[in-house]
Amino acid sequence: MPRLPTDPDLLVIGAGAAGIAAARTAMEAGLGVVVLEARGRVGGRALTDTARLGLPYDLGATWLHQAATNPLVPLAEGLGVTLHDSDALRRERSQIGARVLTPAEDAAYSAAWAEAEARIEAAARDGGPDRSLAEGMAATGPWAPAIEGWQGDIISAAPAGRVSLQDFHANALEGGNRLPEGGFGALVARLAEGLPVMLDAPVTRLAWGGREAVAEGPFGTIRARAVIVTIPTSLLAAGAIRFDPPLPAETLQAAHDLPLGQVVKAGFRVVGEERFGLPPFSSVDRLVAPGEPLVAMSLFPFARPVISCHVGGDAAQALEAEGDAAVEAFMRAEIATRFGAEALGCLAPGPIVSEWGRDRWSRGVYSYARIGCAGARTILARPLAGGRLCLAGEATDTGMAGTVGGAWRSGVVAARSAMAALAG
Ligand SMILES: Cc1cc2nc3c(=O)[nH]c(=O)nc-3n(C[C@H](O)[C@H](O)[C@H](O)COP(=O)(O)OP(=O)(O)OC[C@H]3O[C@@H](n4cnc5c(N)ncnc54)[C@H](O)[C@@H]3O)c2cc1C
């Protein structure tokens, strides 16, 4: 670990993407920085595991979204990390049970998607009051549960009936997706190399009313002239750090209005050569009944022998609470539905299963806005104490909220506010 400055200008709380970006930005400007991280590792909700399946598997963030403007794209390229064009490589297939759609069914599914997206666009622009994503897309017909499942549970990590349409629209991601070879978590960790991070250092109290900010935790007490807090909204809302004085009521309300959704992922290693007739980078979905959870399934990325399954929203929360065995059983049943019971014979025992809802340093995956709360991100991002206390993190970005790119941007913005405050 690099030596920590004894008299830092800036404290950064949390070494996820936002905290790493904030620390790098301030250090590039010559400030003394200390980053306090609760976990024994950096990266937060970006985490690549290489041990469990014997190859890189992202338990959290996987794609660099909105590649055209994503700040991580040039940084990855600068490190020599190969980014693959996921949109060009992805092979999509939809099914009814184990049967692949006929061309006519496929056309009907595509048309239903196009209609739902056009209605979201029109509803977001009609100038009326905010409403739920489900109301805005008003999907009907046999494919409505699948489309709602994608837009709500999978993309927003929460049921479409609880998600703000305005916020969903403001953060709809366009401009391409990239997959970093070696994993996104590994990339984020590399971007933290050399930073003055104190690991296993959870902040429990933060005094910010005086001339200095004082952070307290099991590590003792650390002071600085400014502080950037990047912990997830779930933890802010739960009072995981005791702020003294308390955060302004509108800031705290904004954290409550941007809860973290839930996703559970399971990665299975395939033994043998069976690929179900699918090429690398396949994405398979299927018709689901109303109320039936949709499973997003990516198969054989980079031609690796892996099937990655994930569910979101309430089903994810319930499954994760039941435990890894329940997650595994559910995903295996889904694989059998799509590829036949004999497919289960190709799966190595012991998949890797995520646990973001149980994780005490995240308590969920990424933020969505409650209906009527699309303005909460701007409120949460407002600098406090003239810029000497700034909140950052994916929930504070507008345009790329919920993503690593958004978190990174927010860290840069917060660092600039803090630097302006210190210079003033
Ligand atoms: C399953 C899943 C899939 C995802 N898919 C994608 C994707 O494909 N593409 C994408 O761009 N994004 C994706 N995301 C979202 C992305 O991972 C997050 O938006 C981003 O990593 C958040 O970064 P952050 O810095 O805001 O927060 P975090 O990464 O949560 O960082 C906050 C840090 O604060 C630390 N902390 C918490 N409390 C304390 C405390 N009291 N004291 C000190 N430290 C503390 C935490 O340990 C953590 O390291 C996904 C996330 C998940 C979980």
Whole-angstrom Cα Rg for the chain: 22
- Which of 404, 408, 410, 413 has most ligand 1 atoms within 8 Å of CB, for mutation? 404
CATH of 10-46+60-75+181-259+361-423, one of 3.50.50.60, 1.10.3720.10, 1.10.10.10, 3.30.70.1350: 3.50.50.60
For the chain, domain boundaries: 10-46+60-75+181-259+361-423, 84-177+263-353
The response to whether residue 45 sits with its C-beta less than 6 Å from ligand 1 reads yes
- pLDDT at residue 142, as a whole number: 95
- pLDDT at residue 173, as a whole number: 86
Copy the structure tokens of residue 44: 């937060």
Q: Could you tell me the distance, in angstroms and rounded to a whole number, from the CA of residue 394 to the centre of ligand 1?
A: 8
Give the strands of the sheet with 220-224, arranged side by side: 220-224, 213-217, 205-207, 242-244
Q: Could you tell me the distance, in angstroms and rounded to a whole number, from the CA of residue 367 to the centre of ligand 1?
A: 10
Entry pTM:
0.97
- pLDDT at residue 1, as a whole number: 63
Cβ-contact 354, 263 below 8 angstroms: yes
* DSSP output for 222-267: EEESEEEE---HHHHHTTSSEEESPPPHHHHHHHHHS-B--EEEEE
pLDDT by position in tens, the chain (length 424): 677 888 999 999 999 999 999 999 999 999 999 999 999 999 999 999 999 999 999 999 999 999 999 999 999 999 999 999 999 999 999 999 999 999 999 999 999 999 999 999 999 998 889 999 999 999 889 999 999 999 999 999 999 999 999 999 999 988 899 999 999 999 999 999 999 999 999 999 999 998 999 999 999 999 999 999 999 999 999 999 999 999 999 999 999 999 999 999 999 999 999 999 999 999 999 999 999 999 999 999 999 999 999 999 999 999 999 999 999 999 999 999 999 999 999 999 999 999 999 999 999 999 999 999 999 999 999 999 999 999 999 999 999 999 999 999 999 999 999 999 999 8
Cβ-contact 34, 12 below 8 angstroms: yes
The response to whether residue 260 sits with its C-beta less than 6 Å from ligand 1 reads no
- pLDDT at residue 333, as a whole number: 98
The response to whether residue 15 sits with its C-beta less than 6 Å from ligand 1 reads yes
Q: Compute φ and ψ for 193, nearest 5 degrees.
A: -60, 135
* Alpha-carbon separation of residue 287 from 13, 112, 139 (angstroms): 44, 12, 14
Classified by CATH at the fold level, domain 84-177+263-353 comes out as Polyamine Oxidase; Chain A, domain 2 (3.90.660)
CB neighbours (10 Å) of residue 6?
A: 8
CA gap 106, 222 in Å, rounded: 59
The response to whether residue 57 sits with its C-beta less than 6 Å from ligand 1 reads no
Alpha carbon 230 to its chain's center? 14
* DSSP output for 113-125: HHHHHHHHHHHHH
Helix pair angle (324-339, 313-322), 10° resolution: 130
Cβ-contact 260, 402 below 8 angstroms: no
The response to whether residue 394 sits with its C-beta less than 6 Å from ligand 1 reads yes
